[in-house]
Each structure stands twice: as C-alpha cells, then as structure tokens.
Structure 1
C-alpha cells in the first residue's frame, strides 16, 4: 500500500490594502474641514482591569497546570510502554536461549522458529501489533483481528528497514503520516542461519487516547472554573471597588455650593483608611472655603461702616473751618485705628483656622503659668492672684496658648472695675489640663453664653460697657481647637466670670521630673 502524500499547505499572507481602503481610513481620521480628529479612546474602568487581571492569572494558572498534567502524563505513558517493550525483549531472549517450544516441548532449532513461535504466543493490546522479518523481509504478521496493521504503513516499513537489517536491539519512536509509533526491533542471531527479527509496534496515539480524554475533561472543567471565577470575581471586585467609586462621586460633588458630601466608611481595610483620609481632606477643604467665606463676609460687613463714616465726614468737611478739619481728622484717625485693629483680628482669626497654626512642643505648665501672670499684671490695675500651678510638662504651643490666655486676661480687665480681683491658675483634672482666668466683672447672662462664642458676638452688657470687635473669644476657641481642646465659660450676670481653657492630655504629656524646684501654689 503506497504511503499517503501530505497535502501541501495553502500560502497565506496579510490582506492587501487597496488605495480605496487607505483613502477611507484617511478620511475617517480627518474632519470635514480637513483637520485631524483625535479618536476618543474607550474608557476602561478599574473594575474591568482587575477582572481582566484575575481572569488572565486564572487562565495562565490553569493552562500551566494542564500543560504540566499533559507532560507528566505522556512521560508516564512512554515509560510504561518502554518497560513493556523491554519485558517483551527479555521474554524473546529467554525463548531463544531455552530453544524449546513452551506449548509442545519441541526444540526451536532456527531463529525463524523462535520468532514465529513468539508471535503465535504473544498477547497484544488494542494499541499494539507485531511483525516478523526474515533476512529483512516481512514474513510473519499477527492475526487479522488485530486492529493495528503496521505492514500497511509503507512509511513505517521504510523507516524501520535499516533497523531490521541490523544486529542490535533498538527501541525508537517513528513518526509517519498515519501516526506516531514506539517500535521495538529485536534480531535473533544464530551462526549459519538467516537473521530473524521481531518488530513490536505500539501506536502512541491510541496509547495516549485515555490521557487525551482526561485532558478534554480537564479543559471543560477549566472553562467552567474560569466562568465561576469570573462571576465570583465580578461580585467581589464590585464590592471592592465600590468605595473607590464613592470616592470619585464624593470628589466630583464637592464644589462651592456643596461642601457636606462625605465618603461612607465601611470596614477597617486600606480602602476604609483611604475613605477616612479623604473625609479628613474634605473637612479641611470645607473649613478653608467656609473660612474664606466668613472672612469675606466679615470684612464686607465690619469695614463697610467705618468706611461710610469716614467718607461722609470727608464729604461734609469745611476746608476753611480749622476746628471742623481738626475734628474730622481726629474722627477719621480713630476710625482708621479701629479698622486696623479689626483687620489684624480678622487676619489672626483666619490664620488660626488653618493647619499648622500651632507648633506643639514640650512645655512646662508651671513656668508658663508664672509667665502669663507676670504679663497679665501689665494689662490693668487689678488685684492679680495665682490660684494654682500645675506641675506637669505638656505638649502644646506655648506662644499661642499664652496669646489665648492673655486674651482672657485682657477681657477680664476690660469688663471689670479697677482694683477688682482677677485670678488665674492651672491644674490637671480628669485627664485634662485646665488654664483659667476668673474675675468679678459684669458677667454674662445665661442666654448670651452661646452668643459671645460667635464671631463678632457680644453680650448687650459688654457692648454698653466697653468697645470691642467680638473676635477675641473666636480666636481663643480656634487656638484651643488646634490643640484638641475647648473653652468653658462659667458666668453670673453682675457677679463675674470664669473662662477655662480645657486641653486633653495625651500619652506624650509627662509629669515634671523636678517638681520640688517649683514654688507650691
């Protein structure tokens, strides 16, 4: 039977691009006026990218596993076939050495009788077959019920012809157009007799059929697994990236008209920490923008009146009247001085709401108390006294805290009578550092305690008693807020007030290592 000639493959190549195709592509990239248009690239979401990465990793892992299973499986099949062929070769040699037919006990006197007897006795699997050669010619074949017929594959016979003519036993792989074979060639030699050769053939394609079926099942299972991974991953990734989408929406919704949007915080993972960080950033943005608005409102509201007053007097001034000029000059300078104080307070208030306004450092509270008392005594003729002194070292900005403390002392002087008692002190209570100023001044009505905390907020009694801008307590509150503290007010109308700076102590706040060097209260 003549061997099958392989079909020559068709030659393929890239499609030729016609001039019309090039012109169409060129016009598609150009606008109607001949200008180049930038083609919009499709938007790929992070969820899609993560999904593609998961699927790619899953496919690569499954493909590598399948390849490893195939390689190990084929190697195992080949080892098993080689062991079987070596066993066949050993059995043939035993038969030749014994020289007796196991069935009849008759002697086997020639190599041809040995090979023929072995072929008759051998049991073949469906993927196996055998041939017997005498002097290089195929002489014996297996029964017709054996499916594998190597004698019909001319390419196989042509490739094993040199091996059959040799004198060495060989195990080799032979590939033909009809299949791949593992071939055992065993010559039986005896001096003076023609050479008889046994050829045992194993069809590798049939031997690996079970492995291929296993790989088909593995491929189907892998595809199902990839589909399941895709479904589960889509659900998991959707939950994973949902905070990122919420971050994006919150960032897009923030503008000058809406500063209240925040990102929901769920869980305690990295995305939750990111959401908290973004919320803190949005808090700072909100405070900054609201501070700008308040500053503009305050400047517009508070400076409009003195500017109107100055303009009105300048318009009505009589240049020929020296007294009128002098009076207008004094009034104008007084209004400008008030405007200067107001602008300085507004600037300080705006700075106090910004990050980095305070620079905390370890501070000896006892020494700070003595310094503030010394400075406060220069604010007015009052009977100053020290109530208590805290012997502790606290992490705070001494300069800003002195500023806030002296502001309370200045208010105590402003709203009390000369030679009235004013006391201050410091102590640690319930994990808080308390710094206070107490006076016997005009006091504040209970319903006005919230008013005095507001910007430009003043009680009715204070407005009648002394001039002021009403920004002092706002500045004090911002300094305390920067330290994480708050302002407590205890006041009785007509009897006096006690303003307390309450600052929480942290782990870094430690007792003074040398309390014996301080003067006891």
Structure 2
C-alpha cells in the first residue's frame, strides 16, 4: 500500500507547482515582449536605412537615380523602384527574396512583411527635383541575430527559473521542517507515553500556533489521566470483589476433596477448581488490560492455548476440530490469548449446527486464528454490530452480547484484531495477532 505524502511533502510540492507556473507565465510574457521589441528594433533599423537611401535619391531627366552614398552596407538589402514599379537599384538575391521584394515594388503606404527568417519594409518616398518624382524603397533584414539573442535571453531566464523553483522548494522544505520539528518531538513523546507515565506533558513554550496546540493537548491529557486513574481504581475494586468469592469457592472445593467423596463428585470438584483457576487468570488478564499494562514481555503458543481451551469445554452436540501449526507464538500472555479466542469459539459453538473448525496458521508475518461454523450465518448488515456491547442476534437466547466486544478490545491491547471475514457458508471470524 503506497504511503501518502506528509505535510512537508504536500507543501513543498504545492510551492514547487505554484512557482513553476509563475516562472512559466513569466517566460511567456518575456517571450512576447522580446518578440515585440525585436520586431520594433528591426523595423526601426529598416526605416533608418530607407531614410538614408531616400535622402540620396535624385531626379534627372525624369528618372530616379541612386548615386553612390559611400557606404556599401547602406545599400545592402535595399531595393529602389520607380513609380511604375521598375527596379532602379538593388542587390542580387534569391528567387524567394526577389519575389517578396517585387511584390512590394508598387505599395502606396508603408508596409511590413515577415517571410521566414527575414523582415521586409517597403515605403514610398518623394524624390527631390523639378519633376516631383516618387519612388518605393524596400529594405530587408535577417532576424537570425535578433532571434539568437532572444533565445539566449530565454535560455538564461529558463535556467534562472529552474534555480528559483529549486531554491523555493528547498527553502520551503527547510522552513517547514523547522516548523514541524516540534510536531515530530511531540509525536515521539506521545509514542513513549503509557499508563505508567500519566504525568507526562508537552509543556511547550511560546505563543505560536503549535504552543497553543500543545497547551490544549496538555489539558486534554489531564482529563484522560483522570479517566484512566478512575478506571484503574474501579478495576482494582471489581477484581478484589470478584476474587473474594472465588477464594471461598476454592476453599470449599479443596475442603471437600480432603475427604473421600465418590469419584463422580471428586471429578466435579476438580472441575470447579479448574474453573476457579481459569476465572482467576481471566481476572488478572482483564485487570492488566484495563490498566494498559501487560507486565514484562510474555508470549504464548497459540496452538497450545486453543487446544487447551477446546479440551476444557464441556461436552456438546457440536464437534470442534482444531488444526494448528506448531510453534506459532504471539506477543501476549496465554491468559490474554484465551480471553481473545475463547469468546469467539463459544460464539461459534453456540450458533453452529454440527461442526466448528479452528485453524491456526501464519499469514503475511502474522499469526491468524480462523474460527468457522456451519450455522445459519450473519446478516451482512450485522457484520460490525456483533462487536457492539449488548448486541445479540435474534436466535441467541444464551449470550449476553459481551464476549465478542471484549475479545476485540483485548486483541487491540496486544496489537491484534478480531473481524468477521465470512458472513455465512461458513461463518468465519478471523483473529489476527502479532508474532512474538
């Protein structure tokens, strides 16, 4: 499953995209301005050349003459036509250029054309003299030099834009990292807290947004700590109240076994002692769960726990088969594993018609317990309702609706889950636990 980008990644990406868009817009504006400026400069240069040539024209005997102006570069790329469109002077040029120039020979107003990489400018001019003659001067200039300069400018601006985008992204990443550093420290501190460290707080100083958030969370932690302490106190009191009658039951059963009861009665008292021990272990496990503390790290063989759990069940009309791979240990005490698996198995036996199957195996690095029964199944709409405290199916006349919610809660305390993976044919509950 791909991991979504964090706040820093999203901010850096957003900043980079906005900056890239701004730089692209800038380059477009610069390109349009450069093209406009280039056209204006070329046209001004052509007008200057036309003016220079027009000032040198003379009229003799009803004809337009172009005397030597002493500058070959002035006449380079300049053509002069008389009023009838006959060329008076001009350099040799390619057929394409000549065709464009000839097309401008008889213009009656200043005209500018762009053909390929060249710009053409034609303008009628008056020829001084007694005959009031007119002529058309056509000048052309290659745009290669101007476009090369423009491309160099755009290239330099493109490199600068890339540097700006990279610099902005780097600056944003650095700034956001410094800003979120306190958030990372708060996260690490929160991960290290537990029910044994109810007094830990963020204690952030300053008056910025993070400091105010830290103080708000500290007040929330105060309320959470009070609730946890109240739960621990209530759990301890309930455990004490439950253990007192269990101790009495154990004492009565042991006293009865000191005598010579009949074998069938002795067997019943032994089973009473076993159930008392089981209840004591359950109370200890639930007490640890309520206190969010499982003591020192422990582990249990799930296959052994499941086999013992099934073997300890009283005889029933439903057959329970167990298929457990050997050596599958989970990071939880055996009492907790029993409190997770037990209610699920009890639920399956209660609703099965003839058979319950319990499979313990490893899957994707986790230990999985699948409990299936051939009962009527679940309504698809009740897939999650069965984990709600007090919920009972319409055909359930024995359960109190507390076993499955408790199993899910205990599983969550050890990093596991309990879920319905098949609603019917067969009905399957899957328990996913972390390996030891």
Larger radius of gyration: 1
TM-score, normalising length: structure 2: 0.46
TM-score, normalising length: structure 1: 0.39
